[in-house]
Structure 1
Amino acid sequence: MPADPVTFPGMPRTVLVTGISGNLGRAVAKHLHTEAQVVGLDRRAFPGKPKDIEHHQADLRKARAEDAFRRRRVDAVIHMGIMHDPRMPFSEAHSFNVVGTQRLLELCVRHRVKKVVVLSSANVYGPRPQNSNFLPEETPLMGADRASDVRDLVEVDMYAQSFMWRHPELETVIVRPVNIVGPTVRNAPSNYLRLESPLTVMGFDPMLQLIHEEDVCRALVLALRPGLRGVFNVSGPGEVPLSAVLRELGRGPVPVPHPLIRPLVRRLFDARLTSFPPDEVDHIQYLCVVDGSRFAREAGWAPRFSMRETIRSVL
């Protein structure tokens, strides 16, 4: 289902997108480039780049990244330049994610950018046995307690929150979408749902929230709306039990007793027999369901893709 371009009064004229060379970054650029001048910033090349998009191949941590701001007046930034690779050495990922974000936000202040949208994740709350249904944005960020790969995301999110209070002259929006899935997405949830015989935790069937990658792109563009600022959960078309998702995909789950599943997934991951990291086991065991009503109310948000379309988008 091709989505219509998101547009609104006061759409920024020039939008800089970090992480533009990734699949999600390309999709955001596609949504934006008919409505605004798009400037890309990514340390990776951008093969197949549309002619009307200006791309700067540079690491956010390096001085050369500032060229993207010097060349033209940047009105708004969508920051998606976060590395999610559980096999990446922690020190390199931490430097790229946290130091890169700090550097980017400093450049936004220096060049008087009016709006910054930071892509975070609802996973910053963490799936926990004591979680209630529909966590609001004020919920403590406990995702790093048991999942080391979420640590950077929590730190980036908290730094962006402090930046928002220190620089009220700059409209800052932190977007926390639920589990992103889609045909081009290669994250842990999508990889798990592509397994023919995924492991499940015996006796557990948590409710899941999924959102289509195209809907996430629309939400990020919508977050550029003038006057919108703050932290927002972004939910998809609803909630559904893990068992129902696997049934819709025709998967044959393999239930594993709770004490055995984490060491088993660790062995499979270390042997490169699966791309599903052991830190993600909590997501197929415990609840992490968020309340997305604030973004729906203040930004006029509603997902375009149905639950069935969203689930089947991983095929």
Structure 2
Amino acid sequence: MNQDPSKRPAVVVTGISGNLGRTLAKLLHKHERIIGIDRRPFAGRPKDVEMHQLDLRKKKAEDVFRKNEIRAVIHMGIMHDPRMSEEEHHSFNVVGTTRLLEYCAKYGVSKVVVLSSANVYGPSPDNSNFLTEDAPLMAASRFSGVRDLIEVDMLAHSFFWKHPHIQTVILRPVHIVGPTIKNAPSNYLRLRHPWVMAGFDPMVQLIHVEDVARAMVEAALRPEPKGVYNVVGPGEVPLSSIHRELEREPIPVPHLVARPLLGVLFKYRLANFPPPELDHIQFLCNVDGARWRKDVSWQPQHSMRETIRSVLGE
């Protein structure tokens, strides 16, 4: 007899209603039973995706784990909003992640995937060319707004060591871009006249949103991966080459002027980026993805040109 689909072991996806979450659900739902958790509604949700519109910090989130057999959790329910206070970010991201990891341990989840970011290393004039997973997480030293993201990464790292029987994977992808993605890198690349730092042309690493979704599926469903992985796309390219591919007309701004000017523009909502984001178009933050390539035979499906042009909706 066929097993009742509602009784099959499920994959829980937090943050499923975001653009990356919807891309992941599209990949997974035909083969896996998916349970989504998000405070936001899931626009265009496939009928076979079970959805719980709730906050991870609330007690009701535990019911999802108590009432279902969960084979894997993919956690990307992380808030990235430069307009929100650090207190709100900390509560949602750190407390929410803490609760989720507690449920995973309590209810015997065997695989936990936490989506972090290569941004936790932080762009810096002192960075070596390609940072490995062992490099210190220094982003908060220049940008306090990412402190909670580093804390989430470290919580997952600690969970990995405390619960060796649970296969925990921490993915640190490079800048995610795509037609529906509205993060800082994608928004910046959509500007007709983007600022560039006069005298600087850093090498940049991008990855297509569909390749990130594939990486999370690989991490969640394959038995081998565990630990921390940098996830890279098709390579690295100078920022100036990206602008040329997109036919942009950059405005060179002296870095001593750029930060105070952007601070004023951001304060009065004339810009969407806080001043510390300028580090990403001035300094290196390139990572080594060799470990991920080796352990899962990883190859991104999208070329560099496809990845760059995806911000235009192509």
User: Which residue of 199, 208, 219 corresponds with 2:204?
Assistant: 208
Aligned identity (percent) is 65
- Contact residue 84 and residue 149 of structure 1 kept, 8 A: no
Q: State yes or no: 1:26 paired with 2:22.
A: yes
1:189 maps to what in 2? 185
Task: Report the TM-score when normalising by structure 2.
Answer: 0.95
1:84 maps to what in 2? 80
Gaps of 5+ in 1: 1-11
Question: How far apart in 2 are the matches of 1:268 and 1:111?
Answer: 48
1:261 maps to what in 2? 258
User: Which residue of 230, 236, 241 corresponds with 1:239?
Assistant: 236
Question: How far apart in 1 are the matches of 2:218 and 2:283?
Answer: 31
- Contact residue 9 and residue 68 of structure 2 kept, 8 A: no
Q: What CA deviation, in whole Å up to 9, does each residue of 1:2-34 have, x standing for no partner?
A: xxxxxxxxxx94200000111111111111111
Deviation for aligned residue 1:227: 2.8
Q: CA RMSD in A?
A: 1.0
1:306 maps to what in 2? 303
User: Which residue of 38, 44, 57 corresponds with 2:53?
Assistant: 57
Question: How far apart in 1 are the matches of 2:240 and 2:263?
Answer: 23
Gaps of 5+ in 2: 1-7
- What letter is aligned with 2:240? S
- What letter is aligned with 1:26? R
- What letter is aligned with 2:104? C
Question: How far apart in 2 are the matches of 1:206 and 1:163?
Answer: 35
Q: What CA deviation, in whole Å up to 9, does each residue of 1:91-125 have, x standing for no partner?
A: 11110000000000000001100000000000000
> Which runs of structure 2 are paired with 1:66-81 in the superposition (5 Å)?
66-81=62-77
Deviation for aligned residue 1:274: 1.8
Q: What CA deviation, in whole Å up to 9, does each residue of 1:182-212 have, x standing for no partner?
A: 0111111111111111111110000000000
Question: How far apart in 2 are the matches of 1:190 and 1:271?
Answer: 22
Question: How far apart in 1 are the matches of 2:146 and 2:88?
Answer: 14
Question: How far apart in 1 are the matches of 2:54 and 2:107?
Answer: 18
Q: What CA deviation, in whole Å up to 9, does each residue of 1:147-188 have, x standing for no partner?
A: 122111111001110110000010000000000000111111
- What letter is aligned with 1:66? E
User: Which residue of 281, 284, 297 corresponds with 1:284?
Assistant: 281
Question: How far apart in 1 are the matches of 2:258 and 2:284?
Answer: 17
Deviation for aligned residue 1:311: 0.4
- What letter is aligned with 2:214? R
1:227 maps to what in 2? 224
> Which runs of structure 2 are paired with 1:74-153 in the superposition (5 Å)?
74-153=70-149
- Contact residue 164 and residue 170 of structure 1 kept, 8 A: yes
- Contact residue 265 and residue 277 of structure 1 kept, 8 A: yes
- Contact residue 188 and residue 277 of structure 1 kept, 8 A: no
Q: Report the more deviating stretch, 241-250 or 146-155.
A: 146-155
Q: What CA deviation, in whole Å up to 9, does each residue of 1:253-304 have, x standing for no partner?
A: 1111121111111112112122122110000000000000100100121100
Deviation for aligned residue 1:68: 1.4
1:8 maps to what in 2? none
Question: How far apart in 2 are the matches of 1:220 and 1:248?
Answer: 28
1:250 maps to what in 2? 247
Deviation for aligned residue 1:244: 0.5
1:5 maps to what in 2? none
Q: State yes or no: 1:275 paired with 2:265.
A: no
2:5 maps to what in 1? none
Question: How far apart in 2 are the matches of 1:173 and 1:300?
Answer: 16
Question: How far apart in 1 are the matches of 2:225 and 2:44?
Answer: 33
Task: Report the TM-score when normalising by structure 1.
Answer: 0.95
Deviation for aligned residue 1:48: 2.3
Question: How far apart in 2 are the matches of 1:149 and 1:31?
Answer: 32
Q: Report the more deviating stretch, 51-60 or 265-274.
A: 265-274
Q: What CA deviation, in whole Å up to 9, does each residue of 1:115-156 have, x standing for no partner?
A: 000000000000000111111000000011111221111110
Q: Which runs of 4+ in 1 moved over 4 A?
A: none
